[in-house]
Amino acid sequence: MDEQFLDLLAQIYDTEEKVVTEIINLEAISNLPKGTEHFVSDLHGEFQAFQHVLRNGSGTVKEKIKTLFREVWTDQEINDFTALIYYPEEKIQLVKENLCNKQALNRWYRQTIEHMLKLISYASSKYTRSKLRKALPEQFIYIVEELLYKTDSTNNKDPYYEEIYRQVISLGQADNLIIGLAYTTQRLVVDHLHVVGDIYDRGPDPDKIMDTLINYHSVDIQWGNHDVLWIGAYSGSLVCLANIIRICARYDNLDIIENVYGINLRPLLNLAEKYYDDNPAFRPNLQSNLNRSEEEILQITKIHQAIAMIQFKLEIPIIKRRPYFNMSERLLLEHIDFDKTEIKIGEKMYPLVNSCFATVHPQFPEQLLEEEQQVMEKLLFSVQHSEKLARHMNFFMKKGSLYLKYNGNLLFHGCIPLENNGNMKEMQIEDKTYSGRKLLDILEYYLRYAFAHPEVTDDLATDIVWYIWTGECSSLFGKREMTTFERYFIKDKDTYKERKNPYYHLRENEEICRKILQEFEMNPDYGHIINGHTPVKEIRGENPVKANGKLVVIDGGFSKAYQSTTGIAGYTLLYNSFGMQLVAHQKFNSKEDVLCSGTDLLSIKRLVDKELERKLVRETNVGESLLEKISNLKNLLEYHYMK
């Protein structure tokens, strides 16, 4: 080994005893069972449903409670205790309202704290004391550890333990302790969280999801196509910026732009008021919880049209300067006969409806009006100077990637672009050709480059970020075209069809999935592919587990916009030391329902894959780093202390 490195290591472990102690510690940790991984996908701003899934660990919390107490508790008692773990502040308040006197409340406090300590002891049984300590409520670490690790078989310390309980209650700290223990339990049941793409768009609260993830103890993100739009907008892509505003207008979420991230939409509204009128194709899909006035709806409709036309204009120069994007058929503004209000697509002419082309120059359709250019420049300035958006986008870059190899599994949001014969689809970028893993790597390289140079708005990197959102060879899109224009302006629904990449039917084939795993240098005998992006239509009998268990799709419809076609409200996946289980979630209504009934809206868990032998930490990504550190320490021991 490099002697300089060992000398530096010796400054940390400066005695033989320290080296030996750390080797013993790491070797012991590597032989613990692996922690539980929790996979979620396609959250689309649905914060309340996402938060509930985090709090219940996709049913893991209740499963542990049942294991501990089913012999002594009724179903209602289990449900009440479960609700307390999920929503401790609200459940404590309900208990206080229902208990008639202080004595009864104090008795409840005493019993509840004891039950919670028993649950934490069980939930932390495969963790070290050090790891458990990091999960405990900071102000109560000493108290909790004393109560957790009782070892007095002579009963000499019984008065000591009872006094701890009595003082916690008499000093008014029982509420805080119970709340802290509830959140400790939530943290312990999930060791690591994977978000397999699409936090943004459609739903109302992506910012709250981002804040939750920033504070989560262990998480990674595989970017989704909607997430890349937001990264692209922050990185200087004007066409990505136009897309996010258009989508927010369509789904009545402009409050995210203006109120959450502080981006001033007034210049855009002024432009929209000048050039656009009411238009049924651009009316927003109103959220049921918002009471919009007709004036507000009309303003959103006008903004929707204004930003859509800017988007279509901005796409044209990118398509022309990057012929290898293979998107010339999307130059639709150039195929309009403005006199006849018709458009030529392929060899066929279609009448245009709901048209709003007042700002489009027939000879130069890509040309922005000076007002439009100024509006976009002001919007970009606001986006890049939003402190909150900067925090969220920087977190995206720190924790995110296009794909991830983790504990033998391959995670990515959409697809690996394939040809019909199952070969990796090739894409030319400049003078080089890429496919498979190398294609994803080069796309991520350009995305990171664009993010690092936000002052540049029209280089290859920003063009590729937009391509990742909408391009044929993008692993996040995986279709031949995006027919946004047709859906707005053409009645014939045959023009709406978006041809999917062959991956989406070939992924049913086990050999194809094994080939993809090998492309990413993974063991096809033990590995799995984990996808989001395409909602699984369980209502029609579609199976989310494909290719004899080699591939799992976990987008089942967190987004309310998809639930009528999926029949459920999202899949999640659990992977612990015993194997993988898929969980289907029914529609989440409110935490009030959970508090009253304590029930979780989960379907029966499906076994995806069972470990023949219980998987240990040493067989995981974390284990690899531990074993490397052990090797370094053993070399240090030989080099410095056993000469």
Q: What angle do CA 486, 492, 493 make, to 5 degrees?
A: 75
Between CA 629 and CA 613 the distance in angstroms is 25
Q: SS3 sequence, 248-285?
A: HHHCCCHHHHHHHCCCCCHHHHHHHHHHCCCCHHHCCC
Residue 481: CA count within 13 A, CB half-sphere: 18
Q: How far apart are the first and last CA of the chain?
A: 15
pLDDT for position 6: 79
> Per-residue DSSP letters for 391-430?
HHHHHHHHHEESEEEETTEEEESS---B-TTSPBPEEEET
pLDDT for position 459: 95
> Which residues are registered as beta bridge partners of 579?
576, 610
* Helix (H) / strand (E) containing 446: helix 436-452
Contacts of 257 (CB under 8 A, 6+ apart): 244, 245, 248, 263, 265
Between CA 640 and CA 161 the distance in angstroms is 47
Contact (Cβ atoms closer than 8 angstroms) between residue 17 and residue 640: no
pLDDT for position 484: 94
Instruction: Read off the pLDDT of each residue in 356-361 and give the average, rounded to a whole number.
Output: 95
Beta strands in 11-165 (DSSP E): 37-40
Task: Read off the pLDDT band of 601 (50, 70, 90).
Answer: low
335: DSSP letter: G
Q: Which of 145-154, 179-188, 293-302 has the lowest mean pLDDT?
A: 145-154
> Which residues are registered as beta bridge partners of 428?
433
Per-residue pLDDT at 223 exceeds 50: yes
Between CA 283 and CA 280 the distance in angstroms is 5
Between CA 635 and CA 316 the distance in angstroms is 60
Contacts of 317 (CB under 8 A, 6+ apart): 366, 458
Q: In what order do the strands lie in the sheet with 403-406?
A: 403-406, 409-412, 529-531, 551-553, 545-546
What is residue 222's three-state secondary structure? Answer: strand
Contact (Cβ atoms closer than 8 angstroms) between residue 360 and residue 309: yes
Query: What are the domain boundaries of the chain?
Result: 3-32+621-641, 56-189, 225-391+420-493
pLDDT for position 560: 60
pLDDT for position 639: 75
Q: Which of 326-330, 499-503, 601-605 has the lowest mean pLDDT?
A: 601-605
Per-residue pLDDT at 400 exceeds 70: yes
- Token pair recorded at residue 375: 């509006």
Task: Read off the pLDDT band of 7 (50, 70, 90).
Answer: confident
Of the candidates 174, 621, 191, the one whose C-alpha atom is nearest the C-alpha of residue 408 is 621
Between CA 171 and CA 187 the distance in angstroms is 27
Pick 363 or 153 by higher pLDDT: 363
What is residue 309's three-state secondary structure? Answer: helix
Which pTM does this prediction carry? 0.91
- Token pair recorded at residue 516: 């993809």
Per-residue pLDDT at 342 exceeds 80: yes
Q: Residues 519, 521, 522, 523: is their CA dihedral positive or negative?
A: positive
pLDDT for position 451: 98
Beta strands in 68-200 (DSSP E): 192-195
pLDDT for position 154: 67
What is residue 79's three-state secondary structure? Answer: helix
- Token pair recorded at residue 22: 């750390």
CB atoms within 10 A of CB 640: 17
CB atoms within 10 A of CB 613: 8
Q: What angle do CA 526, 566, 555 make, to 5 degrees?
A: 35
Between CA 101 and CA 105 the distance in angstroms is 6
Task: Read off the pLDDT band of 567 (50, 70, 90).
Answer: very low
The tens digit of pLDDT for each residue in 168-182 reads 999 999 999 999 999
Between CA 399 and CA 530 the distance in angstroms is 18
Per-residue pLDDT at 18 exceeds 80: yes
Task: Read off the pLDDT band of 591 (50, 70, 90).
Answer: confident
Beta strands in 15-131 (DSSP E): 37-40
Between CA 99 and CA 104 the distance in angstroms is 6
Q: Residues 88, 93, 98, 102: is their CA dihedral positive or negative?
A: positive
What is residue 29's three-state secondary structure? Answer: helix
pLDDT for position 140: 93
pLDDT for position 640: 74
Contact (Cβ atoms closer than 8 angstroms) between residue 33 and residue 577: yes
CA torsion, ordered 137, 140, 146, 149, to nearest 10 deg: -10
Per-residue pLDDT at 242 exceeds 80: yes
